Amino acid sequence: MRIQIPGDYSEDNVTVTANALFVHFANDLSQFISTFMTSKFGVAWLQNLKVEDSNYRNFNPKDPAALLKDLAKYGGSKLRLALHSKIERGYLKEYLEDLDDLLGERNAWLHRQVQETQAELLDLVTTLLRVGKPLGLKIVDDCLAIQNSILNPINENSIGEPTVDLETSTQTEIKSENSPQVVEAIDVIEIQVQQGISKTNDAAPEAISILNIPEIAGLETSQIGDDVKERLLSHSYVLQLNGDIRDRASDELLMEVNPTSAQSLGTFLISRKPTGGRIRITEDGTLCAFFGEKWGYLAKVKAEDWFPTHLRNSSNNQ
């Protein structure tokens, strides 16, 4: 165990723990890549790469931001070859999206946009587990220990109990491409793409028309992608390709808890961000997504149209 489990999760301890996780993750991933590349191209692989490709001239593989940007966003990344040794081809895109999510989370922590809470730390741990497990990185043990210390505080009754792996119980893991689950998952994705978001449910209303957009969006003063500098609430969501919006912590869909607005809102959001992905929210109901290297404006939502209790009121969303 490389990270000291804090005696309490105060704001300062949460921040220190999160920063330590990012550092160890970058070291682990860098070591994984270096080991693979050395076996393929020799010990001078990085020096040679810096000479051959100007994009790597000043590259520091232990810099979390630089490493994540290269893998998640640079289509010509030479380092992705190492990922191919562990990630099945059918799941590489999903894995790269998880790396992009982690890049967004690092940005939010670095700029102090997150609330330093146990819930926020657990969300970070969940993301790290998704990227650490398929590669067998040491960060997995650190994350599980922190996760267990939050979910199962040490007391006389919990000593010796096994670690609860929230990631395993709530998230789909990377699987072998020959498994039935993978074949089924690929079929589902293809069907969703072909059918489009307007056919997610036979009983659902038709896709939102352009006339309804002003009512959903409200009076907007920001453009899509504009910087969002406000602090983010300790809630994190996934905008799925079919327009569903999932709460990462509870795994609930907005359609399940607020069906009245879920269909039109999901369709509206996916029209603005067709690739879907991670979205977050501020106290005033500003939904944001990670655009490039920043959290940017996506839309505004009213409390009554969102997950119950996630927004205090809609006074600022009118």
pLDDT at residue 293 in the model: 77
Nearest to 25 by CA among 110, 111, 133: 133
pLDDT at residue 40 in the model: 95
pLDDT at residue 313 in the model: 54
pLDDT at residue 153 in the model: 77
* Residue 303 per-residue DSSP state: G
Nearest to 310 by CA among 278, 277, 283, 290: 283
Give every CB contact of residue 152 below 8 A, 6+ residues apart in sequence. Answer: 158, 161, 164
Nearest to 281 by CA among 309, 240, 241, 250: 309
Please tell me the distance from the alpha carbon of residue 197 to that of residue 157, in angstroms, as a whole number: 48
Q: Which residues pair with 295 in a beta bridge?
A: 290
Q: Would you say the pTM of this structure is higher than 0.75?
A: no
pLDDT at residue 30 in the model: 97
Annotate 243-293 with DSSP letters as a single string: S-EEETTT--BHHHH-HHHHHHHHHHHHHH-TT-EEEEEETT-EEEEEETT
Please tell me the distance from the alpha carbon of residue 70 to that of residue 86, in angstroms, as a whole number: 18
Give every CB contact of residue 278 below 8 A, 6+ residues apart in sequence. Answer: 101, 104, 236, 237, 238, 239, 289, 290
Which uninterrupted H or E stretch holds 297? strand 294-300
Coil/strand/helix, residue 190: helix
Please tell me the distance from the alpha carbon of residue 198 to that of residue 242, in angstroms, as a whole number: 8
pLDDT at residue 285 in the model: 93
**First and final CA of the chain: distance in angstroms?**
49
* Residue 196 per-residue DSSP state: -
pLDDT tens digit at each of 318 positions of the chain: 788 888 899 999 999 999 999 999 999 999 999 999 999 999 999 999 999 999 999 999 999 999 999 999 898 999 999 999 999 988 999 999 999 999 999 999 988 898 899 999 999 999 999 999 999 999 999 999 999 999 887 543 443 444 445 444 444 444 444 443 333 333 433 333 344 433 334 433 333 343 344 445 556 788 999 999 888 998 889 999 999 999 988 899 999 999 999 999 999 999 999 989 889 999 999 999 988 778 999 999 999 999 999 997 544 444
- Contact at 8 Å (CB) between 296 and 287? no
pLDDT at residue 292 in the model: 78
Nearest to 195 by CA among 258, 211, 124, 187: 187
pLDDT at residue 89 in the model: 86
Tokens read off for 134: 């398929």
Report the residue count for the chain.
318
